[in-house]
Structure 1
Amino acid sequence: MELVARGVHDLRGQDGPPLTVRYGPDAAVVVAGLPGSGKSTLLHRWDGPAPVLDPRTSRLAARATVPDRLPYPVYRPVVRTLHLLRIRAALRRPGPLLVHDCGSRRWMRRALARWARQGGRELHVVLLAVRPEQALAGQHARARTAAPGVFRHHVRGLTALVAAVEREGLTAFPGAASVLLADGTSRGRLAGVRFQ
């Protein structure tokens, strides 16, 4: 089955056949959710037709340039800045794009919308709205855990975003042409992506 991304699609709690999600040829698709919610898994499943911008790539690049004894929280701002610069540059180039972001920071959502608009692109969002305990289990399964305070911050931000999408629709994520909500039941249905 194919789902054309336009408006709000709420797949939460819906088991069913695999779906291919269709976007325009120059769409920028932000895959958002809590750490451990399955963003990387989904992006790996979808990475054939479009490049993926993952903050892990920026983290590995920064890690290679700092002394081994330096803990990640010290150079985290460098990683975030590098990731932001990579996203902004990629949004200026033509072609489809997949972006890995937590989605919990309002300023980042606004920046993504502004950069997409400046690049003449449609912005779309896939929001993995899984329960915090599911996301924590996902973190433990991958053996990479977010600090408790950071995780709580993401939970608050994403809970507010999901509630806003439920109340306000697309206006909750400025500039988005579509928001697709998926949870632990339905995220496995997102089998593929097509840009045309």
Structure 2
Amino acid sequence: MVRPGRGAYVVDLRDRRTARALQFPAGDLVVVSGLPGSGKSTLMHRVVPPADASGAAVHRIDSQDVRERWARGRLRALPYGLYRPLVRAAHYLGLRRALRSGGSVVVHDCGTLAWVRRWIARSARRGGRGLHLVLLDVPPEVALSGQRDRGRGVSRYAFARHRRAVRRLTEDARAARLPRGFTSVVLLDRAAAEALRSVAFG
């Protein structure tokens, strides 16, 4: 069990397969970031619990979940590009509700939208809650392979933007520079992420 807490420090679990669980204080916010295809959604689905130690709901906010719900609905016959703005709006409304709930929240972050992290940081600060970054540090070729495996990728231009954004986050974490408003960063490579079994709040 690794407890990042709220001490404004970096926990580097890369090349370590012994960490089976992460534990955060109840009510804290966790942002999961990394390259497209690095395994963020897979990790969140596998390790984020439905409730914390007291039984209060843990909110898992992933735009991919919203996209899949819409894809199964009335718009499934349309190209995704046509209803993508609606998916984005629904995702951010869900995030807004989760942040206002006061409960524990785990958010999927694409890495390029710094304004989203600033929004979450403001919410954490106003509520006196900790804010943690879980950063998947995987090579670009591994992320590209992950995109091929799921049958959905991003453009070369978009991937280049993601690479720059995630590289900055990773370099800052390696230098013990936390993003503004964050109280801890957890660095995972693919092996460490696969070894992780649970995320707990309590």
TM-score by length of 2: 0.85
Q: Is the 8 A contact 1:15 1:186 kept in 2?
A: yes
Q: Is the 8 A contact 1:92 1:119 kept in 2?
A: no
Q: How far has the Cα of 1:100 moved from its partner?
A: 1.3
Q: How far has the Cα of 1:146 moved from its partner?
A: 1.9
Quote the Cα distance in structure 2 between the aligned partners of 1:17 and 1:163. Answer: 24
Quote the Cα distance in structure 2 between the aligned partners of 1:67 and 1:106. Answer: 30
RMSD (Å), alpha carbons: 1.9
Q: Aligned AA for 2:186?
A: L
Q: How far has the Cα of 1:76 moved from its partner?
A: 2.4
Deviations 1:93-149 (A, max 9, x none): 132221111123222221121122234422111000111110111111122222222
Could you list the structure 1 runs, at least 4 aligned residues long, displaced by more than 6 angstroms after superposition.
Answer: none
Does 2:143 align with 1:135? Answer: yes
Question: Mind listing any 5+ residue stretches in structure 2 that lack a counterpart?
Answer: 52-57
Identity %: 40
Q: Aligned AA for 1:34?
A: L
Report the equivalent of 1:186: 192
Q: How far has the Cα of 1:168 moved from its partner?
A: 4.7
Question: Mind listing any 5+ residue stretches in structure 1 that lack a counterpart?
Answer: none
Does 2:195 align with 1:176? Answer: no
Quote the Cα distance in structure 1 between the aligned partners of 2:35 and 2:171. Answer: 15
Question: Residues 57, 41 of structure 1: CA spacing in aligned structure 2 closer, same or farther, 3 A cutoff?
Answer: closer
Q: Is the 8 A contact 1:31 1:101 kept in 2?
A: yes
Quote the Cα distance in structure 2 between the aligned partners of 1:16 and 1:59. Answer: 32
Quote the Cα distance in structure 2 between the aligned partners of 1:146 and 1:31. Answer: 19
Q: How far has the Cα of 1:89 moved from its partner?
A: 1.4
Quote the Cα distance in structure 1 between the aligned partners of 2:16 and 2:139. Answer: 17
Write the mapping of 1:85-100 to structure 2, written as runs, cut at 5 A: 85-100=93-108
Report the equivalent of 2:54: none
Q: How far has the Cα of 1:47 moved from its partner?
A: 2.6
Quote the Cα distance in structure 2 between the aligned partners of 1:38 and 1:57. Answer: 14
Report the equivalent of 2:55: none
Report the equivalent of 1:68: 77
Report the equivalent of 2:10: 8
The count of aligned residue pairs is: 191
Quote the Cα distance in structure 2 between the aligned partners of 1:152 and 1:65. Answer: 33
Report the equivalent of 1:22: 23
